[in-house]
């Protein structure tokens, strides 16, 4: 190879990537979309059949669960529609949805148990376990994304993009 032969630029390399999702990613996206919609419909139906009979915290919990189900459905839709390399952005988004859902639903669960007058430690332990797992997922997702972006920068340095 001579010095005058053009090298592949990072933008050309990314442009040449297969724009379709892998089978595994498609299954994951469809599952998030379908299960998110199904969960929202199920929770909405439960909530609708009990108008005015549910305590406020239970209604708040139903609302939060419906919102998070719709968030998963939106996430699945976004994955199916994306046509660019995500560089693990999908994992970061999923991890943050998990953390938000775990934290908020866990806090409402603990509030419900405390309000009932039961010992809160079981609910606190369960909520803390879910939040801890979600935090690990957030940290791992950000680390994976940072590694991929670092690799992209490394390739850009090795093969300068001449703008062609």
Q: Which of 50, 47, 3, 14 is nearest to 161 (CA)?
A: 14
pLDDT of 19 strictly over 70: no
Contact 110, 72 (CB under 8 A): no
For CA atoms 63, 99, 35, 78, the dihedral sign is positive
Distance CA 81, CA 23 (A): 14
Quick count: other Cβ atoms within 10 Å of Cβ 112?
17
pLDDT band per the 50, 70, 90 thresholds, residue 1: very low
Pick the closest to residue 104 from 43, 144, 160, 63 (CA basis): 63
pTM comes to 0.76
Q: What is the pLDDT of residues 95-116, one digit of tens each?
A: 999 999 999 999 998 998 998 8
Please state, as a whole number, how many other Cβ atoms lie within 10 Å of the Cβ of residue 91.
Answer: 19
**How confident is residue 9, by pLDDT bands cut at 50, 70 and 90?**
low
Rg, Å, the chain Cα set: 22
What confidence category does residue 130 fall into, taking pLDDT thresholds of 50, 70 and 90?
very high
- Boundaries of every domain in the chain: 20-83, 85-164
């Amino acid at each position: 190879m001579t010095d005058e032969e053009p090298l592949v630029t990072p933008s050309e390399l990314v442009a040449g990537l297969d724009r379709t999702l892998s089978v595994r990613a498609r299954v994951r996206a469809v599952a998030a979309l379908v299960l998110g919609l199904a969960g929202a419909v199920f929770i909405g139906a439960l909530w609708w059949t009990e108008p005015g009979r549910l305590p406020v915290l239970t209604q708040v919990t139903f609302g939060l669960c419906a919102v998070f189900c719709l968030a998963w459905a939106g996430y699945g839709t976004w994955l199916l529609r994306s046509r660019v390399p995500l560089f693990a952005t999908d994992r970061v988004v999923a991890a943050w949805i998990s953390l938000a859902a775990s934290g908020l639903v866990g806090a409402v669960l603990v509030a419900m148990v405390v309000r009932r007058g039961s010992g809160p430690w079981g609910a606190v332990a369960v909520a803390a376990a879910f939040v801890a797992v979600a935090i690990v997922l957030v940290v791992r997702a950000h680390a994976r994304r940072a590694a991929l972006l670092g690799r992209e920068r490394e390739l850009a340095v090795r093969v300068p993009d001449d703008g062609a």
